[in-house]
Amino acid sequence: MSTIALQAIPAKTKTAAYAASSAQSAMAPFSFARREPLPQDVQLEILYCGVCHSDLHTVRNEWKNTTYPAVPGHEIVGRVTAVGSEVKRFKVGDLAAVGCLVDSCRTCPNCQAGLEQYCDVAFIGTYNSPDKHLGGMTYGGYSKSIVVDEYFVLHVPDKGNLAGIAPLLCAGITTYSPLRHWKVGKGQKVGIVGLGGLGHMGVKLANAMGAHVVLFTTSPNKKEDAQRLGAHEVVVSKNQNEMDRHANSFDFILDTVSAQHDLNAYLALVKRDGTLTLVGGPEHPPAVEPFSLIFKRRRYAGSLIGGIPETQEMLDFCAERGITADVEMIPIQKINAAYERMLRSDVKYRFVIDMASL
């Protein structure tokens, strides 16, 4: 395994990491500079980092926007190792978390509304975004430490399953936010498409919100797990008879699929004025037939992660109900094999990197 050339940086600010150096290369050891904490910054030692399919899309440049080297990872739980002089909400030794965002303009209407992910100027992602402090791009959580403005750091409960909390920072909030926005609750029939990292959180959260939850999967062997996770019904989407039984019946369907698939088959299951919302971002976008929408006045929508206040709300919601992700822990040296398994839908249901391995 090759080591990517280090930047010329002072040794005290270096952090160990794993990076991709091109769309074709495997993830490999890397090292780079983090900034010293500024007055408003919190520095974390990263304990656990979840492995999101967006990491894989980015590493392989499937969204055609990756700058290399790329250090992914935006499901971060860690311990505070230093705070700047103006930090009020964290102290050294606290547990804390960082999700998909590390900055935004903070003044546009969306930032003012706590919806920083929709910042009109540009949100700064935890990885692969311009780093206004050091130049270059931001580097994510496949690393030993991170320095983030206090506003973008979340509190996590000071007990419990920290590895299972890490995936909440993306998979959790990305499903919680649309379920809340479309007011999913008691008396509603809600579909979740795909039982991966996002999908399994969608099932748990929609169930906790009181909806009747139907899970759609291409993997018949996930049926029992889906029921254990909170699905009231499971449909194998390749089986047309099973699909047809649900025609025109859903208030809301959340599609978490990471690859090309037929959206019109799901629109046909949405009832009048119901909504199909995409959170999955396949490399090749699926086509929508206008008549799938025109009949029954259906809505087709998308949703991006969640803002900082809602991410904290989601973490608190999960803590109160004991909801965490079902994780398979890996050492960082297994990340390339984990990506291959993720592509085969062979993960139950989120890989989490134990950063002690780095």
- Contact residues for Zn ion, defined by CB under 5 A: 52, 54, 104-105, 108, 111, 119, 121, 170
Residue 104 contacts ligand NAP per CB under 6 A: no
- Strand, coil or helix: 308: helix
256 binds, among Zn ion, ligand NAP, none (CB under 5 to 8 A by kind): ligand NAP
Q: Scanning residues 281 to 320, which ones bind ligand NAP (CB under 6 A)?
A: 281-282, 303-305
Angle at 304 (CA atoms; ends 96, 21), nearest 5 degrees: 75
User: Which residue in the shown chain puts its C-beta closest to ligand NAP?
Assistant: 196
Of 20-28, 125-133, 277-285, 287-295, which part binds ligand NAP (CB under 6 A)?
277-285
Q: Which does 261 bind (CB under 5 to 8 A by kind): Zn ion, ligand NAP, none?
A: ligand NAP
By a kind-dependent CB cut-off of 5 to 8 A, residue 43 interacts, out of ligand NAP, Zn ion, none, with none
CB of 47 to Zn ion, least distance (A): 18
Q: Where are the beta strands (DSSP E) in the chain?
A: 14-19, 28-33, 41-50, 76-83, 95-98, 101-103, 124-125, 145-149, 154-155, 189-193, 212-217, 233-236, 250-255, 270-278, 299-302, 327-331, 350-354
Candidates 139-147, 190-198, 288-296, 332-340: pick the segment binding ligand NAP (CB under 6 A). Answer: 190-198
User: Which pairing describes strands 101-103 and 28-33: parallel, antiparallel, or unpaired?
Assistant: unpaired
Query: Is-contact 1 28, C-beta < 8 A?
Result: yes
Binding ligand NAP (rule: CB under 6 A), the pick from 195, 229, 319, 352 is 195
Nearer to Zn ion, 57 or 180 (CB): 57
Nearer to ligand NAP, 16 or 259 (CB): 259
Site membership for ligand NAP, residue 101 (CB under 6 A)? no
**Tokens at residue 54, please?**
């967006």
CB atoms within 10 A of CB 155: 15
Minimum Å gap between C-beta 188 and ligand NAP is: 21
- Least spacing, CB of residue 200 vs ligand NAP, in Å: 8
| Nearest-approach distance from CB 121 to Zn ion, in angstroms | 5
Q: For 248, which DSSP code?
A: T
| Interior angle at CA 354, CA 103 and CA 123, nearest 5 | 10
Q: Which stretches of 268-347 are DSSP H helices?
A: 290-294, 308-321, 335-343
- Which C-beta is closer to ligand NAP: that of 198 or that of 319? 198
Q: Residue 305 binds what, of Zn ion, ligand NAP, none (CB under 5 to 8 Å, by partner type)?
A: ligand NAP
What is the C-alpha separation between 169 and 148, in angstroms, rounded? 15
Measured CA to CA in angstroms, residue 78 lies from 12, 145, 158, 226, 243 at distances of 20, 8, 11, 29, 43
Site residues (vs ligand NAP, CB under 6 A) = 52-54, 57, 170-171, 174, 194-199, 217-219, 222, 256-259, 261, 279-282, 303-305, 342, 345, 347
